[in-house]
A and B are shown apart, each in its own frame.
Chain A
């Protein structure tokens, strides 16, 4: 785990020339990042404790990750619910609009709530964490922690990991509720929609069960872990000044998005098998 121990990243030789050299270089980078993120994930899990100072730092992060994200999460979810109703109502006009409630409810709880909130958190908080830790890395603050016998993983990664893992499922529940309410608002005010708000909610409650909500919460927990681990990993492996910080931030967000989609598929498959 060179980069989390050495301050200066050991860059591979510049001999990555030619087509195969470039592919090999990218592959090596991918393996290196996979190894580092796995190491950080396991190291973070091993160091989790709720001692006074860790808990204080986690609460600070919970405010930053959760409370401060709620207004934006509500706004986004409200319009997602509204758009869903408009789109489905338009498509279902020739058949029946009575199933709009279930479509909006299932889409929000099973897919859109978790994934959109995951993307929102990765973009809003994951990028900030990668930039913050990246700046600390290039300005020797992480090395300063090490010389003070303060473990950077315990000090920086554990509170962010706990906060994101706890806050994202909560944000998803908010998102589900607000998205459904957004849909109800459109049902109430849009004259092209021929069902009542009561029919909308009746259909929604008929089709949605606790398992759908639980799967969404499980997704939130996993996505929160992914965002925390990727943003901390890229932050800690930053090198090369301001440009390096920008590179790390972008990579942390992009890889969070990619992994969220991959794990979304895996969780859905697992949920179908289990239920």
Chain B
């Protein structure tokens, strides 16, 4: 199995309606690493993540995954891809017409796995996120935290080597935040996986990240080890840490 995915981002730029959101991002994420991208609202964190997922086209620059250009990777047939990517969206993005189990099973069934094989994977993944009892429920019947956990189970079902999390704890209470943080930390332990997590939750960032990239106005102002964040001397990072720990 591929030991996670190496992500190389070079000179990434993106504008919407003339407003530059990403201003030349350069980042290197090593295989098996958990990189957390922090920054205030509207700084371009989610846009950067969506570029890594291939959901946006950059105006300039490139993203390479294990030395494969992202457009080349995307053009490959699913079965021939050398590694798998999964993304956990901010709003979970579950298909509302499908049950929890069907959501988790969808990717595998669409790619030709047998129903019996898939049923075992679904049961295991739902067990891992503590939702074995909810497999027949519809997303509309779930709380925000449960929806997030189903989205993580759906990502895990694919046995991905790269998992992208967009604001995994947005709108969740502290207990649910802790649960999600444990789940994210467990993903790396269960299988060799590179993870990129976008958040403005400092506690989550320091608990699940190996390194933290601080984003401001579409630029990476610094990348530092997670345990060194609070000692940063960069004025913006200091301001961000101070604001994030005020608990207003």
In the docked arrangement, what's the CA distance between A6 and B90, Å? 18
A140 to B53, CA, bound (A): 13
Smallest Cβ-Cβ distance to A150: which chain B residue = B110
Given contacts A6-B57, A13-B17, contact A148 B107 (CB under 8 A): yes
CB neighbours of B55 from chain A (8 A): 6-7, 143, 146-147
A73-110 Cβ-contact flags toward B at 8 Å (1 or 0): 00000000000000000000000000000000000000
* A155 at the binding interface (Cβ < 8 Å): yes
Asked whether B17 lies within 8 Å of A140 as measured between CB atoms, the reply is no
A26 at the interface (CB under 8 A from B): no
Q: Does A8 contact B (CB under 8 A)?
A: yes
A53/B16 in contact, CB under 8 A: no
| Min CB gap A154→B, angstroms | 9
Chain B residues with CB under 8 Å of A146's CB are 54-55
Residues in A neighbouring B17, C-beta threshold 8 A: 11, 13-14
Q: Determine whether the beta carbon of A144 is less than 8 Å from that of B56.
A: no
Taking each of A6, A8, A148, A149, which has the highest tally of chain B beta carbons within 10 Å of its own beta carbon? A148
- Residues of A close to B84: CB separation below 8 A: 149
User: Which residues of B have CB within 8 Å of A150?
Assistant: 106-107, 110
Does B152 make an interface contact (CB < 8 A)? no
Q: Does A275 contact B (CB under 8 A)?
A: no
Closest to A9 in B: B16
Q: Is the CB of A8 within 8 A of B56?
A: yes
> Do A147 and B87 touch (CB < 8 A)?
yes
The reply to whether B16 and A10 form a contact with Cβ atoms under 8 Å apart is yes
Q: Per DSSP, are chain B's interface residues mostly helix, strand or loop, or mixed?
A: loop
Segment from B4-12, B91-99, B183-191, B236-244 that makes contact with A: B91-99
A13–B164 CA distance with the chains assembled, in angstroms: 31
**Cβ A149 vs Cβ B107 within 8 A:** yes
Q: Determine the distance from Cα of A6 to Cα of B106 in the docked complex, in whole angstroms.
A: 22
Would B91 and A139 count as touching, CB distance under 8 A?
yes
Question: A6's contact among B56, B93, B94, B95, by CB below 8 Å, is which?
Answer: B56
Q: Please tell me the number of chain B residues within 8 Å of chain A, measured between CB atoms.
A: 30
Question: In the complex, which residues of chain B have a beta carbon less than 8 angstroms from the beta carbon of A140?
Answer: 89-91, 93
For A155, the chain B residues whose CB sits under 8 A away are 110
A146 to B55, CA, bound (A): 8
Q: In the complex, A199→B73 CA distance in Å? A: 70
CB contact between A143 and one of B86, B89, B107 (< 8 Å): that residue: B89
Q: Check B126 for interface membership: any CB of A closer than 8 A.
A: no
A136 at interface by CB-CB < 8 Å: yes
Q: Answer whether residue A141 sits at the interface, using C-beta atoms and an 8 A cutoff.
A: yes
Tell me which residues across on chain A come within 8 A of B53, comparing CB atoms.
143, 147
Q: Is A5 part of the binding interface, using a Cβ–Cβ cutoff of 8 Å? A: yes
Instruction: Bits for B43-73, please: 1 = Cβ < 8 Å to A, else 0.
Output: 0000000100111110000000000000000
Do A148 and B57 form a contact, CB below 8 Å, given A7-B50, A11-B17? no
Residues on B with C-beta less than 8 A from A139 are: 91, 93
Indicate if B85 sits at the interface (CB-CB under 8 A): yes
Interface of A with B (CB < 8 Å)?
Answer: 2, 5-8, 10-11, 13-14, 53, 135-136, 139-141, 143-144, 146-150, 155
Of all A-B residue pairs in the complex, the 3 with the closest CB atoms, nearest first, are A149-B78, A140-B93, A144-B93
Would you list 30 pairs from A and B whose C-beta atoms are within 8 A, ordered by A residue? Answer: A2-B57, A5-B57, A10-B16, A11-B17, A13-B18, A14-B17, A53-B109, A136-B95, A140-B89, A140-B90, A140-B91, A140-B93, A141-B93, A143-B50, A143-B89, A144-B87, A144-B89, A144-B95, A146-B55, A148-B86, A148-B110, A148-B154, A148-B158, A149-B81, A149-B84, A149-B110, A149-B111, A150-B106, A150-B107, A155-B110
16 additional A-B residue pairs with CB within 8 Å, beyond A144-B95, A148-B86, A150-B106: A6-B56, A7-B55, A7-B56, A10-B16, A13-B18, A135-B96, A140-B89, A140-B91, A143-B53, A143-B93, A144-B87, A147-B55, A148-B106, A148-B154, A149-B107, A149-B111
